[in-house]
Structure 1
């Protein structure tokens, strides 16, 4: 990318065209994620079925990871984000009118698919729009934007539910956010290319052999933006890359999958637990929103911990803290003060999760080959998403077979296993200065 001499103008353009759509989309996601199992419960689903419906947004993201790179490379980052926002709106409208848990599940799955495309397009867009000299700080700040959205979203959902009296009305928050993100992307000029809306920069109609050689050497093909090349490489040969790096992905990747599982499980089990202890919908969203504030406050501190004391100094407290919280939830199931314990554990879970902010992206960057990192990062992200998608299914399955308290205990055990894997394999694969 050719940078301009006016850095202030570039920063303003990136903030408007990159961070603002990401913030809007994250706020919408933050509004609906804690509401999905509660909405399923209000439509007559059991706790187990509600957990399954909630898992479908992550299952949709996992399945969407595979074709999203091709979509972004073919139509461009901004067009992909706009299209994903529109598809999300369709899924959300299905959720708002769903008469039963089955229809709600279809809408949730569709939102998950479009979220995968939006996330990858957003990553590629930031890669294209931001100069290399500030890219790391910008992407780190992008992680803070996600947490900001997950902090603000539940409060908006709680307010809408309180005003309307219906749980499904919370999905309108994400509808408005998606439309807002699409409008921003249509109106604001792209600082990387100078075009607006659905326009695209001129590109070669067909890459030549020289272009292909340039790609192999790690340069961008004529007519192709750097971010589009990145996601095309990242999604190309996913399973071939997994085979090539199977040792580290099976060993340390298992720990990464369990980190993803513990985090995703938290987003499902807290709303389900709120239902089980009798909290009304708006109060549950309010508690989860306050917990999100704790998580959001720690995203920068986590990076400082990793840079100063190593990756394990962040990963182990995160996993052990989440495990203890899952065990405390299970233990408090039959106590009289279950609501008080739920609130306390929700805050403690956010504290533990916040300490581990950015650990998966950091480990992936540490482990990726320096010459061609994109394929490995795609496989690494797929591994983490696999754990994230599996956790809600585990929770719903165990809840169906036993109780939600047993499901919480199972998640606690998985967290201990994950901590052990990280403790064993991080020193094996990372140099001493990064451990």
Structure 2
């Protein structure tokens, strides 16, 4: 990494990476407690799961309105607004008198998270030079992974120290305040980091289907989708598959462990090993994408997960099923680690360089939809047969791999994805 690259990434740390870690840390400290809070209010297990999933629904619904906020207020102000709205949601969780209010408050948190994420994504798209874009965005993925990994441990420590299920909720509130302070008082990245030379060309890479920024601004999301529907449906469809695979692994690996008779500690160890490998590779993903092209991260990642799920489907009743699960979990961790930041990077590559927010809103809605629908579909199949669910996931991963192999070279040529540091 060159000195100029290090300097640029350091300048983004206080206002981009720091707030990302704080937001995600607080969110994943609170979210595991939502079902517990709901049950304490008298909800059944099914309703508690629905309430916890309201954050995903809120994020899905919030992506499109978020583009309106970002386009009019700017990325920095949008992040501050999102932090304030999320804080209102957290207060709603803390003081919810019934499960209906609790569900609404969780929905608000997800809605605000969509605006926070889109603002950050839009800023990185317009301000970070293309040559280091993937590394910068892989650090976003790593920041998110760090917060997601550490959040439950923070919650466990607070619960042990206080004995109150409200402690992680208030911890999220503190994290939001700190994130907002960083965004508000750190050096304004929009001033210290000038847009890269080249305007839209530095931001978008759609080949013949490139959308004009002026048309996107004029028609908002509808125009962005209309002008960029080719890459959105083709590469975006494969990206939605990858998003779905990430969600499925969080459901399928623990279910598989239970099904083959592993105890809770052993299952946690398997999931933990996979997650550790995933986290360790997050920056490697960005280096690969910037130096060799996006396909060199996307294709190995989805192929590794395809192979793992297909192998897993054949090993449920074999001797040493636990070892097979661990091996597949390790390969899944490698695949997911190699894909760190890929969804952000592909969306940034395809978005109009001067006004990316509308296109990115549509992109994030599509990928979030994949992440929400895939585990539900796999869970339904798992109710019939767990090996069949793993096989279906493997086939889905193969389709995603084929989509990336077919469409990334067309819309994001290797010549634009293989630049080295200047």
TM superposition score normalised by structure 2: 0.71
Give the superposition deviation at 1:262.
1.1
Task: Give secondary structure in 1 for the equivalent of 2:340.
Answer: coil
CA displacement 1:265-288 (0-9 Å, x = unmatched): 3344456667877866x9977865
1:260 aligns with 2:256: no
Give the superposition deviation at 1:417.
1.9
2:86 is aligned to 88
Give the superposition deviation at 1:425.
3.0
2:61 is aligned to 63
What is the distance in 1 between the residues matched to 2:295 and 2:7? Answer: 39
CA displacement 1:30-71 (0-9 Å, x = unmatched): 44566667887998755x777655544333212111111222
Summarize the Cα distance change of 1:360–1:313 in structure 2 as closer, same or farther, 3 Å threshold: same
Give the superposition deviation at 1:395.
3.7
1:359 is aligned to 342
Q: Structure 1 unaligned runs (5+)?
A: 1-6, 195-216, 219-229
Summarize the Cα distance change of 1:84–1:317 in structure 2 as closer, same or farther, 3 Å threshold: same
Task: Give secondary structure in 1 for the equivalent of 2:57.
Answer: helix
Whether the 8 Å CA contact 1:54–1:392 is kept in 2: the answer is no
What is the distance in 2 between the residues matched to 1:97 and 1:64? Answer: 23
1:157 aligns with 2:139: no
Summarize the Cα distance change of 1:163–1:339 in structure 2 as closer, same or farther, 3 Å threshold: farther
What is the distance in 1 between the residues matched to 2:165 and 2:218? Answer: 37
What is the distance in 2 between the residues matched to 1:39 and 1:330? Answer: 36
Q: Structure 2 unaligned runs (5+)?
A: 193-198, 201-212
Give the superposition deviation at 1:24.
0.8
What is the distance in 1 between the residues matched to 2:294 and 2:159? Answer: 40
Give runs of aligned pairs for residues 284-295 of structure 1, distance below 5 A. Answer: 288=271, 291-295=274-278
Whether the 8 Å CA contact 2:9–2:136 is kept in 1: the answer is no
Give runs of aligned pairs for residues 4-83 of structure 1, distance below 5 A. Answer: 14-32=12-30, 55-83=53-81
Give the superposition deviation at 1:177.
1.8
What is the distance in 2 between the residues matched to 1:130 and 1:428? Answer: 23
RMSD: 4.7
What is the distance in 1 between the residues matched to 2:118 and 2:227? Answer: 23
Give runs of aligned pairs for residues 262-301 of structure 1, distance below 5 A. Answer: 262-270=245-253, 288=271, 291-301=274-284
Whether the 8 Å CA contact 2:14–2:182 is kept in 1: the answer is yes
2:365 is aligned to 382
What is the distance in 1 between the residues matched to 2:48 and 2:388? Answer: 16
**How many residue pairs get matched?**
394
1:348 aligns with 2:331: yes
1:419 is aligned to 401
Whether the 8 Å CA contact 1:158–1:283 is kept in 2: the answer is no
TM superposition score normalised by structure 1: 0.70
